[in-house]
């Protein structure tokens, strides 16, 4: 069991039979009444984010999590296919549950799969990745780093982001995977 006093960002808990990941939490001790914990939780099953308040000291079932290194093979519109690099065992995860992460993964990339209670649940990505720009409008003379402004670009994974005007097709850019924003040239 895990108490509200042991909450940490990234922990997984079970609330009323549903597994959630703790995104944020805040202990609140009002002048009048009992203390409570205000949380922002992400439902593991579908990625929905909810706000929830619990009494201080309330207990929940702690969820066992494990990270396994896998190779991303491909996605076919319904499922994403992965292979364990050690046992060569293949598994599929419904695309809708990991759609956010799939934007940044190329075929044959090694990724870390998060297992919750021995079931594959999520793909853990680094906070930033380096990806090649596959298509964007050509840069024009005068488009400099200090000029400002952005233009749309399609990356090698198919993700669409905004890049500065001076970025050309074929360049490698660093992208923040949490916000989907351009960070810098690689």
Domain boundaries, the chain: 2-62, 65-124, 128-185
Do 176 and 128 meet the contact criterion of CB atoms below 8 Å apart?
Answer: yes
Do 63 and 41 meet the contact criterion of CB atoms below 8 Å apart?
Answer: no
Taking the complete model, does pTM exceed 0.85, yes or no?
no
Q: How far apart are CA 134 and CA 131, in angstroms?
A: 9
Give residue 93's pLDDT band: very low, low, confident or very high (50, 70, 90). confident
Q: Supply the pLDDT for residue 140.
A: 63
Per-chain mean pLDDT for the chain: 83
Side-by-side strand order, sheet with 79-84? 90-94, 79-84, 65-75, 110-116, 119-124
65-124 domain in CATH 2.40.50.140? yes
Two domains, one topology: 65-124 and 128-185: yes
Q: What is the mean pLDDT of residues 18-45?
A: 85
Other Cβ atoms closer than 10 A to 30: 8
Q: How far apart are CA 171 and CA 38, in angstroms?
A: 44
Q: Supply the pLDDT for residue 184.
A: 86
Instruction: Provide the CA 22 distance to its chain's centre, in angstroms.
Output: 13
Backbone torsions φ then ψ of 26, nearest 5 degrees: -145, 125
Q: What is the mean pLDDT of residues 42-60?
A: 83
Is pLDDT at 6 greater than 60 in this prediction? yes
- CA–CA distances in Å: residue 64 to residues 12, 18, 61: 8, 14, 10
Q: How far apart are CA 103 and CA 94, in angstroms?
A: 14
**Second CATH level (architecture) for the domain 128-185:** Beta Barrel (2.40)
Q: What is the mean pLDDT of residues 38-60?
A: 84
Express each pLDDT in 104-163 by its tens digit: 888 888 888 888 877 787 788 888 888 889 888 876 655 555 556 788 899 988 888 988
Q: Supply the pLDDT for residue 98.
A: 78
Q: Supply the pLDDT for residue 147.
A: 58
Q: Supply the pLDDT for residue 146.
A: 56
Q: Which CATH number among 2.40.50.100, 3.40.190.10, 3.40.50.10170, 2.30.30.30 corresponds to the domain 2-62? A: 2.30.30.30
Give residue 20's pLDDT band: very low, low, confident or very high (50, 70, 90). confident
Q: What is the mean pLDDT of residues 44-53?
A: 81
Tokens of 4: 């509200």
Tokens of 146: 């200090």
Give residue 74's pLDDT band: very low, low, confident or very high (50, 70, 90). confident
């Amino acid at each position: 069991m895990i108490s509200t006093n042991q909450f940490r960002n990234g922990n997984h808990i079970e609330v009323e039979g549903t597994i959630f990941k703790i995104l944020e939490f805040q202990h609140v001790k009002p002048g009048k009444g009992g203390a409570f914990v205000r949380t922002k939780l992400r439902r593991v099953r579908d990625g929905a984010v909810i706000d929830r308040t619990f009494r201080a000291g309330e207990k929940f079932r702690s969820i066992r999590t494990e990270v396994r290194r896998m190779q991303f093979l491909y996605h076919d519109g319904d499922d994403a296919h992965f292979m364990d690099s050690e046992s060569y065992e293949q598994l599929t995860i419904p695309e809708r549950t990991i759609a956010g992460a799939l934007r940044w993964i190329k075929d044959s990339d090694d990724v870390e799969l998060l297992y919750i209670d021995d079931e594959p649940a999520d793909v853990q990505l680094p906070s930033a990745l380096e990806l090649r720009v596959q298509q964007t409008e050509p840069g024009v003379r005068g488009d400099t780093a200090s000029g400002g402004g952005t233009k749309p670009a399609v990356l090698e994974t198919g993700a669409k982001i905004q890049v500065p005007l001076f970025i050309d097709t074929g360049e490698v850019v660093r992208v923040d995977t949490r916000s989907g924003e351009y960070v810098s040239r690689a």
